[in-house]
Amino acid sequence: MRTQRLKYFFFAGILVCFFVLIACNNNRQKDNTIARTPEELQERVSGLIKKNTARALAENGKMDDSTIVLSQARLVKFLYEKKTYQPLWCEKETWVPAGDSLYNFIRNSQLYGLFPEVYHVSQLKNIREKFFADSLATGDRTNAALWSQADILLTDALVQIIKDVKLGRLPQDSITLRKDSVLSDDFYLQLFASIQQSGLEKMIQSLEPNHKGYQELKAGIKNFLDSANYKTFTRVPYPEKDIVKFKKALQMRLTEGGFMVPDSMLADSTQLAEAVKKFQKRKGITVDGRAGEGTVRMLNVTDEEKFIRIAISLDKYKMLPEKMPSRYIWVNTSANQLAVIDNDEVKLTSKVICGKPKTRTPVLTSNINELITYPQWVPPPSIVSKEILPAVKKNPGYLEKKGFSLVDSKGNEVDPYTVDWTKYTKTMPYRVVQGSGDANALGIMKFVFSNKYSVYLHDTNQRYLFGNAMRSLSHGCVRVQEWERLAFYILRNDSLHSGNRGYAKIDSVKTWLRKKQKKSLVLRNPIPVFIRYFTCEGQNGNILFFDDVYSEDKQLREKYFGSKYTLSGL
């Protein structure tokens, strides 16, 4: 028995020694990061910055054994190297003012259409809380590892912020008009230096677009965030073959939104239609009581998704030229609105009708260089193959009914009843032409600009459609309600000298319209036209949202705004 007791104490002693050695080793490791003086802390922070930035560069941004990954490891190392690896945001156990400013900017970066989590806000918050709650027992405030980590995270955050504010997060494409798609290392170095001179806020503001639309949208973000509802609503499936499942989800969503009284029984069609009408009226869309594709799309959009739309729209402004023309035409195909901008002032607005989801109006930039009164319409190949040819094969009289003529390669008109239509499936060796007149699909005025899509601005013979709230109805062209005001505005300004010449042109156009004559007028000064797709815009400190009818923002959100891009924790 005594022997067993001695063995027990012997092994217990070995275990105690083992754990004491581990504890001593841990304390020794901890002592390597705990500084005894502010000067020693500064020296150790500098050494750790050099070590950790080198490691991050070698390991795809991973700085240590934690889950922290730098997004701009190369630039971070470059900036510290230029500063001989001295900390940029802290000094001897304290944050420098610029460090506090940067942290506060990150916390409130939603006001710029940014996402705090992308800029290490959680990790920085935890470190700062440790410092401010420090006591002599923890020694966190003298921990060089924490200070170096915080400094590197702030630097990485600022580099990413500069990129996101200046260039945005969307890829450059064929319609991007800005010239500086890549920022040089020296550019970042100059901006870091400018913080010391003019402060962080002014430096950030210098990166933003000067576009008035950008500023108005950004100005509405605070009100949006203050009133945003982060509740998760029932998603309405669409399209859905199971009608009962669809109605249950629709009823639940309308109830959650306050458009129906809670009821365990399935509502009948009349009750659902009334609730849908209330929703449609509040959203400013066509009030018909039908839960169609557009209505369901708006029922399913959340405030978090709306904020990402704001971020996407701000980034789209960053893809415009730094300086817009002094005078131009702006068409927003999501809002179905046109505006004439002159020195940042809106001179004219008009409702427009843009393309259907299947035949969307393209995003493009061009110059209106010609006006045509009483134009002819030559349908593009896509309309001919998908609509006209199938209709003619069923009934050759379709062409006459729609006012179309069939013309061969020599310009001769062809009788459609003499053509063997069974020979043609997608194309045919004829042109389809709709003659001038009040019944022409282009109406009585066409605004011509060069583009590869064969689209243009024009009047329409279906003017009653401008009364619709949802006006994504065309084959791709832009139908303009205020076409006459637009034409006369262009003509008044189409003179380098006095306005007399412009008024003379207006008189000529009025005469041609009165006599129903097909005439062409080439402009001396082509006016730029920007056709874009923005699903929201700022107005009087608030934000108006439009239907993402082409699902463009949905696709951009899924492709370029991942799980980090949320408003969690706000």
Q: What is the pLDDT of residue 471?
A: 94
pTM: 0.85
The full length of the chain comes to 570
The tokens for 546 are 């439009």
Residues 189 and 124 grouped into a single domain: yes
The residues near 234 (Cβ < 8 Å, ≥ 6 apart) are: 249, 252, 253, 256
Q: What is the pLDDT of residue 285?
A: 81
The tokens for 154 are 């702030």
* 270 is a domain residue: no
* 218 is a domain residue: no
| DSSP string for residues in 233-294 | PPPPPSS-S-HHHHHHHHHHHHHHTTSS---SSPPPHHHHHHHHHHHHHHHTS--SS---HH
Distance (Å, whole) CA 263 – CA 255:
9
Fill in the amino acid letter for 479: R
Distance (Å, whole) CA 568 – CA 110:
11
The closest alpha carbon to 56, from 80, 83, 74, belongs to 74
* 93 is a domain residue: yes
Distance (Å, whole) CA 159 – CA 142:
27
Residues 3 and 39 grouped into a single domain: no
What CATH number has the domain bearing residue 445? 2.40.440.10
Q: What is the pLDDT of residue 496?
A: 54
Residues 374 and 408 grouped into a single domain: yes
Distance (Å, whole) CA 275 – CA 265:
15
Q: What is the pLDDT of residue 18?
A: 42
Residues 60 and 123 grouped into a single domain: yes
Q: State phi, psi for 347 to the nearest 5 degrees.
A: -95, -25
Distance (Å, whole) CA 356 – CA 549:
8
Residues 518 and 402 grouped into a single domain: yes
Beta bridge partners of 448: 370
Residues 52 and 20 grouped into a single domain: no
* 373 is a domain residue: yes
Distance (Å, whole) CA 473 – CA 354:
6
Q: Radius of gyration (Cα) for the chain, nearest Å? A: 33
Residue 528 region by backbone torsions, left for phi larger than 0, else alpha for psi between -120 and 50, else beta: beta
Question: Which DSSP symbol is given to 419?
Answer: S
Residues 343 and 429 grouped into a single domain: yes
Distance (Å, whole) CA 492 – CA 499:
6
Q: Are 145 and 48 in contact (CB under 8 A)?
A: yes
Residues of the domain holding 365: 325-536
Q: What is the pLDDT of residue 29?
A: 42
* 339 is a domain residue: yes
Q: Are 356 and 474 in contact (CB under 8 A)?
A: yes
3-state secondary structure of 316: helix
Q: Are 383 and 502 in contact (CB under 8 A)?
A: no
Q: What is the pLDDT of residue 489?
A: 96
Residues 23 and 48 grouped into a single domain: no
Per-residue pLDDT tens over the stretch 364-393: 999 999 999 999 988 888 889 888 999 999
For each of the chain's 570 residues, which pLDDT tens digit applies?
Answer: 455 554 554 454 544 444 433 444 444 344 467 867 888 889 999 999 999 999 999 999 998 767 889 999 999 999 999 999 999 999 888 899 999 999 999 999 999 999 999 999 999 999 999 887 765 455 678 899 999 999 999 999 999 999 999 999 998 877 877 777 789 999 999 999 999 889 999 999 999 999 999 999 999 999 999 988 878 899 999 988 999 999 999 999 999 999 999 988 999 999 999 999 999 998 878 899 999 988 998 899 889 999 999 999 999 999 999 899 999 999 999 999 999 999 999 999 999 999 999 999 999 999 999 999 999 988 888 889 888 999 999 999 999 888 889 998 888 899 999 999 988 888 899 999 988 888 889 999 999 999 999 999 999 999 999 999 889 999 999 999 999 999 999 999 986 544 556 677 899 999 999 999 999 999 999 999 999 999 999 999 999 999 999 999 999 999 998 776 766 544
Burial of 106 (0-12, 13-18, 19+ CB in 10 A): buried
Residues 462 and 449 grouped into a single domain: yes
Residues 15 and 154 grouped into a single domain: no
Q: What is the pLDDT of residue 30?
A: 43
Number of domains in the chain: 3
Residues 118 and 185 grouped into a single domain: yes
Fill in the amino acid letter for 506: I
Residues 2 and 136 grouped into a single domain: no
The closest alpha carbon to 478, from 297, 296, 329, belongs to 329
The residues near 529 (Cβ < 8 Å, ≥ 6 apart) are: 328, 329, 331, 365, 366, 367, 368, 447, 449, 457
